[in-house]
Structure 1
Amino acid sequence: MDHKEEHLQSSEMLRDIVIGMSDGLTVPFALAAGLSGAVSSTGIIIIAGIAEIAAGSIAMGLGGYLAGKTEIDHYNSELKREYEEVDAVPEKEKEEVREFFGNLGLSEEVQYKAAEEIAKDKKVWVDFMMKYELGLDKPDPQRATKSALNIGLSYVVGGLVPLSPYFFIDTPVEALKISVLVTLICLFVFGYFKSRMTGVHPLGGALKVMLIGAVAAGAAFGVAKIFE
């Protein structure tokens, strides 16, 4: 059964969606709010919003790709080093295996037997050291690409929410009113589920996420009005 691996992958996907969606809902929302206080055409806001969503999704996706690639490179580097240590200082590596089982409360006899059994297969031995000595699980080789796509697409979906009213309403300030209502509701719902995933109090987390979005949009609108 591959249940554990599927669980890990889905957790990583949810984390990517949270990263992309949180910025996607907030940044274009603040941009649209700011422009609504400075321009009289929703067309300008739509063009600027789409441009920001495109640039933001690419930037966020690239960041996710680099983070995933770094994770893979780090694992491969440590894997190579562990193979070298197993070849160069096998007794020291066996001692580390015995220490692990000793910390579990097993007798010295069982410790030695377990270490010798594991050491019979170099791959098993190295995998054991990677997981239990270094605390590293083998990453998905496609992790970087998947992360980039998940974050980028989530950013696009999130960004279209505050921008959508401007497609149907000609007056920026009127469109902003609908955008504020829709986006704050989405931020509240998003914050609620995000908080449940991370173990934070759902209602408090939802209100916090919604408040951050509201403050960002309000600040952008106010600054635009001042400079106008």
Structure 2
Amino acid sequence: MTGKRHESLEHQHRPEVIRHRLREPSRVQNLPDAILGGIDGCVTTFAVVSGAFGAGFSATVALVLGVANLLADGFSMAVSNYEAIQARREHVEGVRRNEHQHIDLVPEGEREEIRQIFQRKGFAGETLERVVETICSDRELWVETMVREEHGLQTEGLSPLRSALTTFFAFLVVGAMPLLPYALPGLGTTRQFLASLLVAGLMFFLIGMGKSLVYHQPVLTSGLRTLLIGGAAAGLAFLTGHLAQTLFGVGM
């Protein structure tokens, strides 16, 4: 470990720094939502471009289809993410209400649950009883402990609106990248598609690298994996468009 890294860790673990960090509100990590929206946006628009090119559509048609899908699918995905996060919040609130009710009806049973939870963590004897007494003397702490420890639920940082907006804007920004070559005049259809292919490939790889920061995966491996997934989706769309042109005469 380098000297600077060690100094930084020592600073982060000073009592006053720890105290300040723990008092701050929980910081929601929006990067997973951004990665989700970015990957889906790039896959969606480049799949449309690939399908249009495979079917022999003009650049104008590909651009119109791409923009339409970009807006519609981006909105749909944002709404879906909003509803999913909202459902999680409602579930947590329901569990919290149940725990309050259980404490009113069977306080000793709930106290025993706290005892066994911390017993499994290695506490015993007088220390265990002091932990149980401390937690159960604060009703809100008691309930939050049960929500986290018994049910394994996250109780902070669930913001449906923030998640939805993050997903939507990431979808739009990254998803628009494969469409840029089709907005440039003077390029032939084949060159526009190849340029879009390069841009999409770069986006997939960069998103995969960014994903490695969230899930602690090897950077290169994560980038290549996302590139392969996006490439497979685009290849499937291209094949579908080409088959539609061949079998049904779809195209220009």
Normalising by structure 2, what TM-score? Answer: 0.81
Q: Percent identity?
A: 29
What does 1:28-107 correspond to in 2, within 5 Å?
Answer: 28-107=45-124
Which letter maps to 2:107? P
For 1:213, the equivalent position in structure 2 comes to 230
Aligned length: 225
For 1:154, the equivalent position in structure 2 comes to 170
**Preserved contact between residue 102 and residue 108 of structure 1 (Cα < 8 Å):** no
How much has 1:3 moved relative to structure 2? 5.4
Question: Aligned Cα RMSD in Å?
Answer: 2.0
Q: Counterparts of 1:192 and 1:6 in 2: how far apart (Å)?
A: 28
CA displacement, residues 42-72 of structure 1 (integer Å, 9 cap, x when unaligned):
2211111111001110111011001100110
Give the 3-state SS of the residue equivalent to 2:28 in structure 1. helix
Q: Counterparts of 1:105 and 1:217 in 2: how far apart (Å)?
A: 52
Q: Counterparts of 1:161 and 1:6 in 2: how far apart (Å)?
A: 35
Normalising by structure 1, what TM-score? Answer: 0.89
Distance 1:172 1:7, change over 3 A: farther
Q: Is 1:124–2:135 an aligned residue pair?
A: no
Q: Counterparts of 1:226 and 1:122 in 2: how far apart (Å)?
A: 64
Distance 1:222 1:96, change over 3 A: closer
CA displacement, residues 145-174 of structure 1 (integer Å, 9 cap, x when unaligned):
111111111111121011110000453222
What does 1:111-190 correspond to in 2, within 5 Å?
Answer: 111-140=128-157, 143-169=159-185, 171-190=188-207
**Structure 1 gaps, min length 5:** none
Which letter maps to 1:101? F
Which letter maps to 2:162? K
Out of 15, 24, 28, the residue aligned to residue 9 of structure 1 is 28
Give the 3-state SS of the residue equivalent to 1:37 in structure 2. helix
Which letter maps to 2:167? I
**Preserved contact between residue 75 and residue 139 of structure 1 (Cα < 8 Å):** no
